Structure 1
């Protein structure tokens, strides 16, 4: 039996709420630097995003989709869903920035470890990443 447009909207809102909670868990995992949790949550997030997309398709192709604009109660529900999507996007952007900062910190720490292993052998490539070069200056033929 096909779902009513009201049921689809309620399901979409519930899925978005699950996504928001998952994004909050992801933020905590990033702050706590729990890489296994971050990887697991990323997979769960992708599954929820796929669900949201499928539900959106079902809503858009529903025979009573015109009610979404004609019925004030349904229009209000659509606005609530849009607000939930916006909130999820905001949290996801914050998480992405936090992950980038964590990755930058990791690279800086990695560079410090490389420097401590042999300062005389250290150089930087064109991307600014430190690397050990054992033949630094030994292949010059001037």
Structure 2
């Protein structure tokens, strides 16, 4: 394998990372627009792409000529470019994770609000004027 073949391998890896970067941007848009159908399709594509990236990276990492070219510093510029794209992908993924976390918190708050309102609408009082949570506290067994 020549140095140019090592560069070709890195170029393919860089293409995969740019594709991941694009999917993460699409994922962010789907999350902010609350579009579950699109999000589901993107998640499937992202999973498949991550598996492909992992597999390809393992192949590159075990390539003896690549290892030698890397040791000699022939690939430093391309590897630095890959590191930058990978760093950007991680940042995008963290942002998407924060969006998901905030959405989960909003859903939990809404659930609690609905439960509180439901509890208030079923609230009754006993003969002494104490609050009671609906008919279930009266031990009625109908």
Place the TM-score, normalised by the shorter chain, in its bin.
0.7 to 0.9
- Deviation (angstroms), 1:93: 0.7
Report the equivalent of 2:84.
83
Per residue, is there more helix in 1 or in 2? 2
Query: Rg: which structure is higher?
Result: 2
Unaligned runs of 5+ in 1: 123-131
* The 10-residue stretch of structure 1 (62-71 or 42-51) with the greater mean CA deviation from structure 2: 62-71
Number of aligned residue pairs: give it.
126
TM-score, L = length of structure 1: 0.78
Unaligned runs of 5+ in 2: 124-132
The structure 2 residue matched to 1:67, chosen from 66, 69, 79, is 69
CA distance in 1, matches of 2:95, 2:134: 37
CA distance in 2, matches of 1:95, 1:77: 27
Q: Which runs of 4+ in 1 moved over 6 A?
A: none
Report the equivalent of 2:6.
5
CA distance in 2, matches of 1:138, 1:76: 76
CA distance in 2, matches of 1:84, 1:133: 58
Report the equivalent of 2:96.
95
